[in-house]
Chains A and B, each alone.
Chain A
Amino acid sequence: MNKTLVAAGALLAGLSLPAVAQQRSIKIGFVSTFSGPPAVIGADMRNSFELALDHLGRTMGGLPIEVIYEDDQQKPEVGKQKTEKLILSDHVDFIVGYIWSNVLLASLKPAIDSKTILISANAGPSQIAGELCSPYFFSTSWQNDQTPAAVGLFMNQKGVKNTYLIGPNYAAGKDMMVGVKATFKGKIVGEEYTRWPDQLDFSAELSKVRAAKPDAAFAFYPGAAGVQFLNQYVQAGLKGQVPLYTAFTIDETTLPRQGENAIGIPGAQQWVNDLPNDANRKFVADYKAKYKASPSFYGAQTYDAALLVNSAVVAVKGDVARKADMIKTMEKADFASVRGSYRYGNNHFPIQNFYLQDVVKGPDGTVVLKTVATVVKDDQDVFHDKCAMK
């Protein structure tokens, strides 16, 4: 009997031991889409994040790193629930990720309310750049409107007089159209919003594009939808008739399946795989060596997010309770970004260059993305005036 009691006591003591003896670690929650077709994007983000941790020696400020990956299933309600779980039960120090604007908008409040620093590695809804801005939010990507606005500028340069806009009916889709309209000087002859994310057949909309006979069309279809849209654009015989301009429709996650269909279709991006800086060369080469695939802009932004977190942790020497000091450090964007250096605006969105990217046949016959020109330098989003932070 006594033996059992002693054993039980030892067992109980054992239970409380790890909590005392455990070494402190930096806990990072990572919310992205790891199921369904967008899992390809989620995987690229996770791979890039893991690569960044490798490059950091898997420590930040001398402390080990623990990453908890959560799948938002591309659903706002699931994203919010996973974010709350990371904050309330895992007590993470940072949250990184978010592909989709609608998912990020739903997940923002729990992070801000708990003063957990959240870094969006992709989504950049206009609301968060403006009235919903917060000291605890940072973006390592862009505000949604910026990329299409750069495309609009390029369309002006090409002498496009009128255009037809088409994109999905959700937060980012609307931001994209506003973005093009902000800079494009010609006429908008038509505007279509398709059901998202389940509508994948665009026959009705493409027929309308053809009937409108525009100089050019602009499309925003992120992820797998970009493959389907481009397939159907080519099948409808529109590629030869109506030149297509895109934002977030052609990238390294979709290109293997878009192939020749994508050749010659321009887009804008703040990062392209061939940007000539050392950090980028190392990132792209090591990614290819480790994963036997090419990183996309989603991955590049996520890689930067890891380095941004690291800069904050190093500045406070691992004392992650000093949030104000960490935010102050992060505002300097003092790390070697793979897109080249950039600054933060008052709303914690990057002020950065946007490049024109084109799709060409590489030397080995595969289809690759290539930087052609700089469309706009040091671009800041238009919503920062609405942000109360100074």
Chain B
Amino acid sequence: MRDEVILLIEQCLNGLQFGLLLFLLAAGLTLVFGIMDLVNLAHGSFYMLGAYFAATFAALTGSFVLGGVLALAATLVVGMAAELIAIRKLYGRDHLDHVLGTFGLILFFNELVRLVWGPAGMNLPLPPYLGGAIEILPGVYYPAYRIAVIAAALMIALLLYLVVMRTRVGMLIRAGASNREMVGALGINVQLLYTFVFGAGAALAGLAGLIQAPILTAHIGMGENILIVALVVIIIGGVGSIRGAFMAAIFVGIVDTVGRAFLPDLFRLVMTPAAASTLAPALSSMLIYVVMAIVLVVRPQGLFPVDGK
């Protein structure tokens, strides 16, 4: 196969993998925002906790998979506890209070992690069968772990779709996203629903974090930068919409990765290498925000808005 084609395939896979990861984060964020009308900046903290839990449990149990499962359960518990103790007090107040309250939680969790695990961060080593690169097509090598991430994330997305579209809980979630007051008026235990949704959102973020841990290492503050991108995703996708989050996450993932990969070369065709190497990284890091701005102008409600809003 020609080198350019191989590179393009690889870059699309890179974009897909990043996009799916963003989806896991954005799904929880958009559910919490859509259903509970809560702006949760601390979402990134659960992403960080997922990574730390996974690194810790994997080291304790000696198993990568078991460590991941335990980490997922632990983030779910922490998420539900956070809802019961802190988040619950914020419902019914305005968005600025949410921002302040959950920003405080970010500081709390960052400091907590520093106290428990220290400032250095943690590595989550991969098991040998995931550690190297495999030949996925003739001549196309790709990290085995990233392939596993793509497969696992697609499965989670499918599972999430089935839960949301085919189960009673999913029906309540969709109803909550469309009209919160009506769900409560129909005698649904909204408090319980909120605790569940918040915990599930936290677990999804934790899953994204534990998936990233072998690639990025677990470190303090890892959730903050990626949360900004996840917010971009839910704005593009439409607040409260899982389908929108999925489409927008894949789109943002590919735009960001492919832009980063090919813009510098494109620029070098028309300007000096020095100018291109200054301008291209700057522009490629702005690319997704440009896309968001265009979406906000053309379709302020997002590309896949929830019906009835």
A36 in contact with B221 (CB, 8 Å): yes
B217 in contact with A227 (CB, 8 Å): yes
Complex Cα gap A193–B261 (Å): 11
With both beta carbons as reference points, the residue of chain A lying nearest to B14 in the complex is identified as A203
Is B82's CB within 8 Å of the partner chain A?
no
Q: Within A188-218, which residues are at the interface with B (CB < 8 Å)?
A: 191-195, 198-201, 203-205, 207-208, 210-211
Total of A-B residue pairs, C-beta within 8 Å: 106
Interface residues of B, dominant DSSP: helix
Is B92's CB within 8 Å of the partner chain A?
no
With both beta carbons as reference points, the residue of chain A lying nearest to B225 in the complex is identified as A198
Q: Which of A43, A194, A207, A228 contacts B10 (CB 8 A)?
A: A207
With both beta carbons as reference points, the residue of chain A lying nearest to B264 in the complex is identified as A192
Interface string of A240-264 (1 = CB under 8 A from B): 0000000000000100110100000
Q: Within A151-194, which residues are at the interface with B (CB < 8 Å)?
A: 169, 191-194
Is B146's CB within 8 Å of the partner chain A?
yes
Complex Cα gap A208–B214 (Å): 21
Q: Within B97-150, which residues are at the interface with A (CB < 8 Å)?
A: 119-123, 125-126, 131-133, 141, 143-146
A193 in contact with B277 (CB, 8 Å): yes
B277 in contact with A37 (CB, 8 Å): no
A235 in contact with B145 (CB, 8 Å): yes
Is A237's CB within 8 Å of the partner chain B?
yes
A259 in contact with B123 (CB, 8 Å): yes
With both beta carbons as reference points, the residue of chain B lying nearest to A240 in the complex is identified as B132
A204 in contact with B257 (CB, 8 Å): yes
With both beta carbons as reference points, the residue of chain A lying nearest to B214 in the complex is identified as A231
Interface residues of A, dominant DSSP: helix
Is A324's CB within 8 Å of the partner chain B?
no
| B interface residues (Cβ-Cβ under 8 A, vs A) | 3, 6-7, 10-11, 14, 17-18, 119-123, 125-126, 131-133, 141, 143-146, 214-217, 219-222, 225, 257-258, 260-261, 264, 273, 277, 280-282, 285
Instruction: With A40-B119, A195-B285, A235-B131 given, name 16 new contacts (CB 8 A).
Output: A36-B220, A37-B220, A43-B119, A194-B260, A198-B225, A199-B285, A203-B18, A204-B11, A204-B14, A205-B260, A205-B261, A211-B6, A235-B126, A235-B132, A238-B133, A257-B122
User: Can you spell out 18 A-B residue pairs with CB atoms less than 8 angstroms apart?
Assistant: A36-B221, A37-B221, A43-B119, A169-B281, A193-B280, A193-B281, A198-B225, A203-B143, A204-B11, A204-B257, A207-B11, A208-B7, A224-B217, A228-B216, A231-B123, A234-B132, A235-B133, A236-B143
| A interface residues (Cβ-Cβ under 8 A, vs B) | 35-37, 39-40, 43, 169, 191-195, 198-201, 203-205, 207-208, 210-211, 224, 227-228, 231-232, 234-238, 253, 256-257, 259
